[in-house]
Copies of this chain bind each other. A is one copy, B any other.
Amino acid sequence: MKDELLTVLTVAEARERLAAHLPSELRRGEKLPLLQCLGRRLAAPVIAGENVPGFDRSTVDGYAVRAQDTFGASEGLPAFFTVTDEIPVGFAPDRELMPGEAMQIATGAMLPPGADAAVMVEHTEEAGQGAIEVLKPVGPGENVLRADEDIKAGDEVFPANHLLRSQDIGYLAALGELELEVVVPLSVGIVSTGDELVDPLKKPLPGQVRDINSYALFARTVELGGQPVIYGVVRDDPQLLREKLQRAYEECDLVVVSGGSSVGTRDHTADIIASLGQPGIVFHGMAIRPGKPTLGGVVEKKPVFGLPGHPAAALLSFELLVSPLLRFGSYQSIIHGAPPIKGIISRSIGSAPGREEYIFVKLQPRDGAIAAEPILGKSGLLTPLVEADGIMRIPLESEGVAAGSEVDVYLFGTDYVL
């Protein structure tokens, strides 16, 4: 008991301790067609192979001209131009624009060589057959998108590990990047242990409850871009648990076992993780609530975690320890992602200095601000998890927050990292 308390680590210390035994990148890359890359992360930076739009492009319907030919033009003293061609969109002009000449041009069409600006049709007047008058001068580059104004060949457009969103898919299509090197999802072996647990497919007998964590962690792994593998419920029997963990360890990139890490009567998880290989358990608890009885282990460079049995605690530990690995491949390269929402906490909450406290909150607009209502309740309840819109943290050294003060709420559904 005393030894365990001594090795309770802060989240930062726990990550550091694990990182010391893990490779700097757990993940590898694979090539995929662009349309399959939504929600995936880049395994390498993308460098633009060409300019976009790729040619000087008119942003208006009007006339391509040499800007200097329009200087001084006004309604009283318009500049005269001979119209020598019409440039539709999608085609390259086949002649050069000479001084005093204009070419009719559509929005999105390519400027001819010699032209450096476009005049809006509204600022021109017809001046007989094949001629116009320009009533207002344009500067060089005006109403034109330069060939490399949107994207410049050679520029890094996305760094490695960028999470690809829908707008990014369009952007990469514009560059002709139709195959990308993306990160292969880490496979996560999920084991549940506890004599009271039954597979959710079965009807529990009196005293039994369905295994929730396997399903919740499966789904959270998918949300985070991982590849979950459910190994099912194992009785709290050292031999059976060892066999199951060994198999999950061999087949997956990382393993989580929930339920066996409570300081309770039948806790064999730590011994089994230790027996799988070196260095084994690297910490026996974290200074967080909920989630204190979390075991951190590394076996031959593969992370193996013992998560608490209570679903809220298991999900929180998973968020703090597994989520960074799924998203960044290591604890050193965490980028904190989506900023939290500012909420006004509706009641005071005390916290013991020396541990981080995580509170599920419900958000509601109130008086032009967002009220954050903590959802408290007995430990082990599931309902707070699904009623909440997000999660807030009371920092390590804080004694709590006073009602009415502003707190940071990490919104479920965003790409936040706690």
Contacts and interface: CB of A to CB of B under 8 A. Distances in A.
A383 interface: yes
A195 interface: yes
Contact of A92 (B206, B209, B262): B206
Q: Which of A210, A223, A411 has the largest number of chain B CB atoms within 10 A?
A: A210
Contact of A35 (B35, B93, B218, B315): B218
Chain A residues touching B, range: 35 or more
Contacts of A378: 59, 145, 149
A106 interface: yes
Interface of A: 34-35, 38-39, 52-55, 57, 59, 61, 88-93, 106-110, 145, 149-151, 157-158, 165-176, 178, 194-197, 200-201, 203-220, 222-223, 262, 264-265, 309, 311, 315, 338-339, 341-342, 363, 365, 370, 378-383, 385-386, 411-415
A229 to B, nearest CB: 12
Contacts of A203: 176
11 contacts: A34-B215, A57-B380, A59-B378, A90-B194, A90-B208, A106-B264, A106-B265, A108-B194, A165-B219, A166-B223, A172-B215
Given A158-B386, A171-B385, 15 more contacts: A34-B200, A38-B219, A59-B380, A93-B207, A110-B207, A150-B382, A166-B219, A167-B219, A167-B220, A167-B311, A167-B386, A169-B216, A173-B214, A174-B200, A341-B341
Contact of A223 (B38, B89, B176, B196): B38
Q: Which of A91, A200, A222 has the largest number of chain B CB atoms within 10 A?
A: A200
A174 B212 contact: yes
B339 A108 contact: no
A173 B145 contact: no
Contact of A90 (B175, B196, B383): B196
